[in-house]
Amino acid sequence: MSDPISLLLGESTMDGVTRHIRRHYLENENEAKRISRASDRADLYRSAGDG
């Protein structure tokens, strides 16, 4: 069973759900990397301030 919009777009509902999940996963992964980089920079600034 596919929803009408998915049928119009020619994809199964499962494909749409999978793509939706994958997009959110990638967004979360990018956000985690960004936070990690910001944390690394903060550590770098702190260690530079100590010296």
Sort 11 into a burial class: Cβ within 10 Å, 0-12 / 13-18 / 19+.
Answer: middle
Residue extents of the structural domains in the chain:
4-50
Phi (first) and psi of residue 33, to 5 degrees = -65, -40
Residue 1 has pLDDT above 60, yes or no: no
Of 19, 38, 41, give the one whose Cα is nearest residue 30.
38
pTM of the model: 0.46
Residue 36 has pLDDT above 80, yes or no: yes
More confident residue, 5 or 31: 31
Of 35, 37, 17, give the one whose Cα is nearest residue 27.
35
Residue 32 has pLDDT above 70, yes or no: yes
Average pLDDT of the chain, as a whole number? 79
